[in-house]
Structure 1
Amino acid sequence: MGSERRPRIKENGGGRPKRYNNAPLTYEFRLQAIRFFEASQMQKTLERFYPDTQGKSRDIKCKLIYLWVKNKAKIERGGSVHTTRAMRKLRKAGTATVLSQETELQLVEWITDYRAEVSPVSAVLLYIKALKFAEVIDISSSDFTASWTWRLGFLKRHGLRFRARTRQGQNSREESAQAVEDLNDKRKEEMHRLGVDVVHNANQTPACFEHARKLTPSIVLKTNPSNIPEMRKQNCEHRYGFGKHLWKEIRRLQDECKMQTYGNKTGWWNAGLSVVWLDYNFNDRIHPDCLVLLLWDDFSSHWTDEVKAHAKTLKAHLFKVPGGHTSVCQPVDIAETLD
């Protein structure tokens, strides 16, 4: 005869339901209570934020608000920032199990070398590689999980970012060949229509180089802008975004390598650099009144209203290469003359 269990009288097994009386509140709630208390008095603050408390519970909430006022500086730091105001506890960086600074620098070096081969680094790839680096230094995957919050912090600490994946997809050889043929036909028609006899090809590779025969190549480097507005303006106007001390070294390397060097916070080509590049290559040409045709790929910073208007003042007609076909429509950097 099997043993029978005693039937439950209550659904929760007879235990008391959780009341969550000591649940911590968000920093945004604490900061609101502090500001309301400073603008009025304690009784009104209790009525506003704890209307249902009485007796001993009311005294406890009163002491709690006084404690918040005492720690006002910390609560203001947490409650006034969008990323932390919904938090209930703040932890210093490095409280959890994380990679050491030396290991993170090795991971940054790996990303740099990987990108130097024109290979993109995705969030999944960073996740897998971070776990491998942790395994090398005897940190188990249960202690260090390379969570998305760690990845965001890692990218922010080292000034890195992931590029958005394009939606163009992969084109077949037949589509690429047809794109080249169509581009050549349209280019010749445009040259005859405008009366242009010179075409420049400016091709931007994934390494952020701008090339064209008889035009100086250029590269974009990452540099922090000056915190002083006047100095930042001078750096952009006279030193291509670099500080006056760093510019001495950049200028020497620029002359040695015969390459224009630009700098900005992201290390990425933008509309402002497109305007500077057009000025450098077309503003002082031998025949400034003669219209030229410039082949440019479908990069967003090449086709802003500011860039198109500036190219028009330089008598440089921009001709767009269809998206997804840059590798076949601009295989080499040429300066072509129409027969």
Structure 2
Amino acid sequence: MTTWIKNAWYVAGWDYEVGPQPLARTILGVPVVLWRKLDSEVVAMRDACPHRMLPLSMGIKEGDSIRCTYHGLKIGPDGIAEEMPLKSDPVNKRICTQTFQIHEQHRFVWIWMGEEKGDPADIPDLWPCSADGWSFDGGYNPIQCDYRLLIDNLMDLTHETYVHGGSIGQQELMETPLNTRKTEDRVFVERWIPDIDPPPFWKGALGKEGQVDRWQICEFIAPAAVMIDVGVAPIEAGATLEKHDQGVRGFVVDFMTPQDEENCHYFWGMARDFRVDDPGFGARFRQQQNGVFDEDIVILEAQQKSLAANPHLSMQSYNIDQGGVRARQMISKIIKSESGQ
């Protein structure tokens, strides 16, 4: 049994990553090639020529189709052969390559790897990524770790105190109680930190000195997404955990797409409601966010290596880990349901 849910939408790439030339990406253990047709629609198919299995991502694009560079078999965007290696041979339409359902929304290219047909309505509602008055951008990192370790990391922001001490971490994170709750299809971890001096990043975002109230609301969404509602507001603004549109607010957007059992694709970004018309700030912000996540990658890849080096040991879970523990339980429950257990 695999460690991931199969019948679900996963992020295959950012909109800017997928262009007219083939992009190779292994998803849920399956090699996939993606490209855009002339009308900008995205094609996704198994990255293997049905003739001699050379990756089609090594092929030559011809219009909306792709030609294998081994013997010249030409495959259409529907996965069906259009031209045989010997042009004098009649085209055998039974020669096919597996294709995958694609949907674009919120700047992401989503892929459905399951056997059933996917419903785009099941894609998470990332309203801040498309709403007026908000700006959204982000990046991509391949990480050499089990995707669930990244979910653990994002559902326990206590680590910010030590891993990100120079940017978003502060000691008060260790002193503030957490509230963890679960619904039928969500896991939430909430933290409200009142009357503090903001860390460097949030002080810069607010643009002034002074004590603030700070919040962190982590939301896990199956199969592998974490949205984190974060921000600070001057204490005189009267913000609360339930209502915090005052001050500066952002949503950290995280999608973890398994590559295989020990590697994953990490698509990250942030939607923000402050300085949305300042492209220079946006570029600097994206660079800074990438630096923060680079610090996480060092930890996660070292953790994966340690797990492999200590197979006789298992990780321990404390109170701060409840968000990640419940997210894993939800993933396991859905996997068992898919397998008929």
Pairwise TM-score range, normalised by the shorter structure: under 0.3
Q: Rg larger in 1 or in 2?
A: 1
Identify, as 1 or 2, the structure richer in strand. Answer: 2
- TM-score normalised by structure 2 residue count: 0.21
Query: Which structure shows the bigger proportion of residues in helix conformation?
Result: 1
Q: Which has the higher contact order (CA 8 A, sep 6+)?
A: 2
